[in-house]
């Protein structure tokens, strides 16, 4: 069973529960007449004013990197050539459902945000990029209901960890494989057909649409995050909208993970965090300072009896299997990290092997064409930093969990879309 929660203060507009667009979390697909009645798709007369507002409140992209949205919009607007805009709804992290939920339930909010992004950048062409069949159906239907004047194509891809990376998005829309390319150039410099291209996460676009409709609440809208919360032991998973700075303990309690002993952050991108996890707050900068990352906002809680070595081995094995096998350092690096963790799980990693793993986790980040290698390295570095006792225990006795390793298919982290 999956729940949908809002922790936003009463009266604050949000994407799940909104006094502007609806009083209850959406269960079905949003209603176009109701959306129009509250100002949806209203013409944008002063595009620079909206862009300035986005800059002033510091809206950051919700795809994972947290890049300032206004900087990206201005770069695309100011680059030579006719801009293209893309709503990116391909969430490769197995533990995240927010983008598919938005596409399935709030397609007009996303299309409105895409249209606003086109207006701010001068784009005449847009794409919605996704992998989920139900999301595709909802978006195609919404397009027939409300043509925005922007030419929008829907492009479906096969789901994969790297398929939502911005250069992979451009490559797939151009008819190639959904695999990252070397940077530079980044899409905002030369993307689809060589045009400056804004690849924006669908939650980012949805927040732009709400900020336009509720200018007085822009700061609160920019500060709220959609997060997917899941945990081990078959516990309840949930989609929640929470203000920036929310204690992870509050989230864990709300979503039925109050007994958690550790958390895997950012999908697989933010690493494993043990003792002290409950003091962490949902905030890009604070989590980075703690050696983690918010990423796409997916959190997977572990029970005290869960084995962090087993979880890290499963995560690294999944990432190695998902490597696009384009960069030599990623092929050998993810394979080496996953293999060494598997040896650690079997109790076969001596001090020299552990030191080697620590060195790799420092040297490998930033050397692949995308963030997959960084994610695998962070899983390793945080395991080594936060769970030395649990690692040592694997050398002293057989770990019952690791003795029966799970398949590296990401199944442990997968969450059903509510
Ligand atoms: S880092 Fe890995 S997953 Fe990313 S592009 Fe290179 S080979 Fe592919």
pLDDT tens digits for range 338-390: 999 999 999 998 889 899 999 999 999 988 888 889 999 999 999 999 999 99
Class of domain 21-213: alpha beta
Q: What is the pLDDT of residue 5?
A: 83
**Å from CA of 372 to ligand 1 middle:** 6
Residues 230 and 55 sit within 8 Å (Cβ to Cβ): no
On the question of a cis peptide bond just before residue 320, with omega within 30 degrees of 0, the verdict is no
**Å from CA of 169 to ligand 1 middle:** 14
Instruction: pLDDT band for 26, please (50, 70, 90 cuts).
Output: low
Instruction: pLDDT band for 233, please (50, 70, 90 cuts).
Output: low
Q: Mean pLDDT over residues 327-336, rounded?
A: 86
Nearest to 156 by CA among 259, 226, 87, 58: 87
Element (H, E) at 27: none
Bridging pattern class, strands 262-264 and 197-201:
unpaired
pLDDT tens digits for range 262-281: 999 988 889 999 988 988 99
Identify the residue whose C-alpha is closest to ligand 1 atom 8.
Answer: 324
Identify the residue whose C-alpha is closest to ligand 1 atom 5.
Answer: 369
Strands, E, within 131-209: which ranges? 151-156, 197-201
Map residue 234 onto helix, strand or coil.
coil
Q: What is the distance, to the nearest Å, from the Cα of residue 246 to the centroid of all Cα atoms in its chain?
A: 18
CA atoms within 13 A on the CB side of 410: 17
pLDDT tens digits for range 84-121: 999 999 998 989 999 999 999 999 999 999 999 999 99
Class of domain 308-413: mainly alpha
Q: Is pLDDT of 19 > 60?
A: no
Map residue 373 onto helix, strand or coil.
helix
Query: 29 vs 25, 35, 351, CA distance in Å?
Result: 11, 11, 55
**Å from CA of 10 to ligand 1 middle:** 43
Strand-pair partners of 60 = 68
Identify the residue whose C-alpha is closest to ligand 1 atom 1.
Answer: 368
Q: Is pLDDT of 127 > 60?
A: yes
Q: Is pLDDT of 221 > 60?
A: yes
Nearest-5° angle of CA 17, CA 23, CA 25? 45
Per-residue tokens: 6: 């809002």
Q: Is pLDDT of 391 > 70?
A: yes
Residues 236 and 1 sit within 8 Å (Cβ to Cβ): yes
Map residue 200 onto helix, strand or coil.
strand
Share of the chain above pLDDT 90, in %: 61
Nearest to 208 by CA among 62, 78, 4: 62
Quote the DSSP letter at residue 29: P
Q: What is the pLDDT of residue 329?
A: 84
Residue 326 CA: nearest ligand 1 atom is: 7
The single residue listed with the structure tokens 């862009």 is 51
CA atoms within 13 A on the CB side of 211: 29
Pocket of ligand 1, beta carbon within 6 A: 162, 180, 323-327, 330, 368-370, 372-373
Q: d(Cα 29, Cα 104) in Å, to the nearest integer?
A: 7
pLDDT tens digits for range 136-148: 999 999 999 987 7
Q: Is pLDDT of 20 > 70?
A: no
Q: d(Cα 270, Cα 294) in Å, to the nearest integer?
A: 6
Map residue 333 onto helix, strand or coil.
helix
Q: What is the pLDDT of residue 73?
A: 97
How do the domains of the chain map onto residue ranges? 21-213, 222-302, 308-413
Could you tell me which CATH number the domain at 222-302 has?
3.10.20.600
Number of H helices, E strands in the chain: 16, 10
CA dihedral 32, 37, 43, 49 (to 10 degrees): -110
Q: What is the pLDDT of residue 35?
A: 85
Q: Mean pLDDT check: name the lowest of 17-26, 114-123, 181-190, 246-255.
A: 17-26
Q: d(Cα 73, Cα 321) in Å, to the nearest integer?
A: 34
Q: What is the pLDDT of residue 2?
A: 64
Q: Mean pLDDT over residues 319-326, rounded?
A: 86
Instruction: pLDDT band for 235, please (50, 70, 90 cuts).
Output: low
Identify the residue whose C-alpha is closest to ligand 1 atom 4.
Answer: 370
């Amino acid at each position: 069973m999956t729940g949908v929660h809002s922790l936003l203060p009463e009266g604050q507009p949000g994407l799940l529960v909104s006094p502007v667009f609806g009083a209850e979390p959406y269960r079905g697909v949003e209603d176009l007449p109701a959306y129009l009645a509250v100002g949806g798709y209203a013409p944008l007369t002063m595009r620079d004013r909206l862009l300035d507002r986005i800059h002033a409140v510091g809206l950051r992209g919700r795809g994972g990197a947290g890049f300032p949205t206004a900087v990206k919009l201005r770069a695309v607007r100011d680059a030579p050539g006719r801009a293209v805009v893309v709503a990116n709804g391909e969430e490769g992290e197995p533990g995240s459902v927010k983008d598919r939920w938005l596409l399935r339930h709030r397609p007009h909010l996303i299309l409105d945000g895409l249209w606003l992004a086109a207006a701010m950048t001068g784009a005449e062409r847009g794409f919605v990029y996704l992998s989920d069949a139900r999301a595709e159906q909802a978006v195609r239907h919404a397009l027939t209901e409300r043509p925005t004047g922007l030419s929008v194509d829907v492009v479906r891809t096969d789901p994969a960890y790297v398929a939502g990376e911005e250069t992979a998005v451009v490559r797939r829309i151009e008819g190639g494989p959904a695999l990252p390319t070397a940077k530079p150039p980044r899409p905002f410099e030369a993307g689809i057909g060589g045009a400056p291209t804004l690849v924006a996460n669908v939650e980012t676009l949805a927040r732009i649409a709400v900020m336009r409709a509720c200018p007085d609440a822009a700061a609160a809208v920019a500060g709220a995050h959609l997060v997917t919360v899941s945990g081990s032991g078959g516990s309840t998973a949930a989609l929640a909208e929470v203000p920036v700075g929310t204690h992870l303990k509050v989230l864990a309690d709300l979503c039925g993970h109050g007994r958690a002993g550790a958390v895997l952050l950012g999908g697989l991108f933010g690493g494993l965090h043990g003792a002290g996890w409950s003091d962490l707050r949902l905030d890009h900068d604070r989590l980075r300072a703690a050696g983690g990352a918010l990423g796409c906002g997916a959190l997977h809680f572990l029970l005290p009896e869960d084995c962090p070595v087993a979880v890290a081995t499963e995560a690294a094995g999944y990432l190695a299997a998902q490597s696009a096998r384009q960069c030599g350092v990623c092929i050998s690096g993810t394979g080496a990290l996953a293999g060494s963790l598997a040896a650690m799980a079997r109790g076969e990693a001596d001090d020299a092997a552990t030191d080697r793993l620590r060195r790799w986790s420092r040297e490998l980040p930033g050397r692949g064409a995308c963030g997959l290698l960084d994610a695998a390295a962070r899983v390793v570095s945080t395991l080594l930093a936060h769970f030395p006792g649990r690692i040592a225990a694997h050398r002293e006795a057989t770990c019952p969990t690791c003795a029966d390793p799970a398949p590296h298919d990401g199944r442990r982290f997968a969450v059903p879309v509510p």
